[in-house]
Structure 1
Amino acid sequence: MARIVIEGAHVATLDPARREFVGHVVADGNRLVAVGPGPAPAYDDARVLDGRGCLVTPGFVNTHHHLYQWVTRGLAVDSTLFGWLTTLYPVWARITEESVYVAAQASLAQLALTGCTTAADHHYVFPRGGGDLLAAEITAAQEIGLRFHPARGSMDRGQKDGGLPPDSVVEDRDEILAATEAAIERWHDPSPDSMLQLVVAPCSPFSVSGELMRESAELARRHGVHLHTHLAETTDETEWCRATYGCTPLEYADQLGWTGPDVWFAHGIHFDDAEIKHLGSTRTGVAHCPSSNARLGAGIARTADLRAAGAPVGLGVDGTASNESGSLIEELRHALLFARARGGPQALTVRAALEMATLDGARILGRANDLGSLEPGKLADVAVWNLNTLPHAGLPDPVAALVLGSPPPLALLLANGRPVVEHDVLLTADEATLASAAARTQALLTADIR
């Protein structure tokens, strides 16, 4: 990896002082070695990028996704969450190692093209005979070049047990725990430079037994890995938990050991004041997925209240079957606008939205020591946004231009010091080939419901 110098750009560091300046960022291998105002130190062997008119930010962190859903987009477009799931579960029951690989490549490529350098994926559908689905998406991430946190999901409560998923995609609890532990032992790299860290992630209260939730938490803590699940996404879920367990989804999760700084929940829309206070006091994280939540009419998470309480809130695209664009940069704008629509013009600032996309996401994944800000010694995950464009011309605040304006093109995206996107072109795969493969795969999976 060559030494790369970005010179003359507006730099939003997200460091503890939240410094911003016109200056330089220098990556040497996979680490940042210099970040500061003014000209960069002189190097004999560096590649120099003219950053004038550009904004440099940390690479974005996507805290919740379902990569496999890229090949099931555009279905049940007017349904609620439960209706959408009922339509799509039979389709997802057909996924294979090949279709997951194709979908993951396309999803990760789109994430890279929208500023993402670290992606957490929640994969919980494992049809029998489908092959090694986790390996398929890990291979795709390695090829596209993003830092990857695959969450080994699971479901052990199918339709015969009163759950939503078809029985063909649920697994036996012992089988799940054994497969999850084997995945951690095979794939998880706990090192500071890690490109691959595993997460333990039962799907949701209405598709997973309490025993599996509790034993999964014990397994994760035994191995020192993080925990993730869906929670409090819809009012239907709250009503179901009250009817089934006599408590709210968060009360249920808390009883099973599912709060703390090693836990984050996807969505977290329907928390009351006391629950938000509890999430803050335990430093339990939330992956905010504004576009998907709006697409499914699930509601708007109380992001300002969660942040004020001390709960880290990151951003997530969610699956592209409920967010067909799959763009992480769009989530910054939507997070800001929805927070203000709910709580007024001071509810969320443009810089708070950028923090959610970067440093807060790194905190949720347990990577804040090495990711989420531009500081010497941190990993070289860097996005250079070209604001020399008609939509951004004349906007005086580069951060506001990024968050409120049209998504700008990427002059450069570095993941672990390696260029992944340059001049808005993906370097690690051919976009046309990915698009063609995804279209063919979706046609085969969904032929009988079109």
Structure 2
Amino acid sequence: MTPDAVTVIEGAHVVTGDAGGREYGSGHLVVQQTHIVAVGSGPAPQSYQDAIARGEAIRVDGSGRLVTAGFVNSHHHLNQWITRGYATDTTLFGWLTTLYPIWARLNAESLYASSAANLGWLALTGCTTSMDHQYVYPSGVGDLLEAEITAARDIGVRFHPTRGSMNLGQSDGGLPPDSVVETMDAILAASESAIDRWHDPAFDAMTRIALAPCSPFSVTGELMRESAALARARGVRLHTHISETLDEEAFCLEKFGLTPPQYLESLGWLGPDVWLAHCVHLSDEAVSRFAATGTGVAHCPTSNGRLGSGAAPIRALLDAGAIVGLGVDGAASNESGRMLDELHQALLVARVRDGELAMNAREALALATMGGARCLGRQEELGSLEVGKLADIAVWRIDDLAGASIEDPVVTLVIGATTLDRLYVNGRAVVAGGELLTADVETLARNAAAAAASVRPAGGSVPWT
């Protein structure tokens, strides 16, 4: 064993997130290379103590710390980091029509800058794995998917980008302008190419691809069916936005005579290989169908509040046995972009919607960890601190001014205030002492600001609302 291969955290409050809900008030966690090899109460086993004494392992003092599985961000749009602050007082459709032309100005360089800054910030707020839903592909601007995958590798987080798509422009009755849509043939070819080039099915994969037509009002039913067929033939997952607003529900009822979930099911888009973003406006029937089919839900409470879309029925989904994770969603509808905030907002939104017993702090933590892992189909590898799982770990300060007087460490994390001390992804330290190790944050900020200026509307005018 070598010091860079074995890390021993001792004296921390360890929340395993396993099926038994085990917690250790003064526990240990041992990482060897990319995997967790020991977790439990008290000091680490003697063999690791001996390794520390020989200089063959690194000991991390976990006193005053809370250790959890790293957060899994189950819905996101990395390009939006550089388009924050627009249309702050409009609902979804107005917000989209403002931003579509701005997103059309993206290129590979600006998307790399946006992605690197955004992923760095996600890492600093506890996120070890993030998906991304990039669905705007202007022509002749470079390889956008490669740009964000490169950014994820540079920051050092686990990444599940989706090859998103839109093929239903305004001239065909859709919402997006024709300038930002693609043909179905081009989308399917690009989707297959993305799988060939980037998808890694290995247990410890850092990059996996999914296919993600954008929404019922921006893609055709034919593209939805063909994307599902391609994904299932190639063994990758499916993702889309659904039931985000009442406007969307009205659109689907008028155009298809079906609610959005009914429309998805008619296209073969419910199942254990599918997870869906938002799901704010669900009937009891839809909740039951999602649970019965193993369809996942990416709950985005901050974004749904920012856009006035409503509060998703998370208590009903959980009670029905549905899979629910948490998503920051794009930073253009969640300007703070903090993964940690989503746990807090999920708990508050659930209680406002369904009463004081609708969610507790440990349930909110489970949404951000195992719930997200299940959405991405990685519950065997991620989402809890168990022997044999990948070493994606967050270490939080609970002994500072913000949290030292709160009795319950998990409440400190979810309802109170805390800061990230360390973050490990695949056993590698990405954050230590609250500082990002893989990139210079001032450079990330400077590059993101330049990229934001590059996509600002011509003439410098900013459509604030």
Q: How does 1:211-230 map to 2 (within 5 A)?
A: 211-230=222-241
Kept in 2: contact 1:288–1:314 (CA 8 A): yes
CA distance in 2, matches of 1:429, 1:160: 44
The one-letter code sitting in structure 2 at the alignment partner of 1:344 is G
Structure 2 residues without counterparts, runs of 5 or longer: none
**SS of match in other structure, 2:277:** strand
Correspondence for 1:323: 334
Kept in 2: contact 1:128–1:168 (CA 8 A): no
Correspondence for 1:6: 9
**SS of match in other structure, 1:266:** strand
Kept in 2: contact 1:409–1:423 (CA 8 A): no
1:340 aligns with 2:351: yes
1:267-315 CA-to-partner distances (Å, cap 9, x unmatched) read 0000011110111111111000000000000000011111111111100
1:423 to 429, 433, 456: 433
1:33 aligns with 2:37: yes
1:437 to 447, 450, 458: 447
1:118 aligns with 2:129: yes
**SS of match in other structure, 1:17:** coil
The one-letter code sitting in structure 2 at the alignment partner of 1:213 is M
- Tell me the TM-score normalized by structure 2: 0.96
2:310 to 290, 299, 304: 299
CA distance in 2, matches of 1:122, 1:349: 29
Report deviation, 1:440. Answer: 1.4
Kept in 2: contact 1:9–1:56 (CA 8 A): yes
2:21 to 18, 21, 39: 18
Report deviation, 1:33. Answer: 0.5
Structure 1 residues without counterparts, runs of 5 or longer: none
1:314 to 306, 325, 337: 325
CA distance in 2, matches of 1:449, 1:48: 54
CA distance in 1, matches of 2:268, 2:438: 41
Report deviation, 1:147. Answer: 0.3
Aligned residue pairs total: 449
The one-letter code sitting in structure 1 at the alignment partner of 2:214 is C
Correspondence for 2:72: 61
Report deviation, 1:9. Answer: 0.2
1:333-371 CA-to-partner distances (Å, cap 9, x unmatched) read 000000000111110111000000000110110100010
CA distance in 2, matches of 1:169, 1:402: 40
Deviates more, 1:100-109 or 1:42-51: 42-51
Question: Deviating runs (4+, > 6 A) in structure 1?
Answer: none
The one-letter code sitting in structure 2 at the alignment partner of 1:418 is R
- Tell me the TM-score normalized by structure 1: 0.99
Identical-residue share of aligned pairs (%): 59
The one-letter code sitting in structure 1 at the alignment partner of 2:107 is T
Cα root mean square deviation, aligned: 0.7
1:397 to 408, 411, 414: 408
1:64-98 CA-to-partner distances (Å, cap 9, x unmatched) read 00001101000001011000001000000110000
Report deviation, 1:444. Answer: 2.1
Report deviation, 1:388. Answer: 1.3
**SS of match in other structure, 2:402:** helix
2:63 to 36, 44, 52: 52
1:378 aligns with 2:384: no
**SS of match in other structure, 1:390:** coil
CA distance in 2, matches of 1:444, 1:61: 30
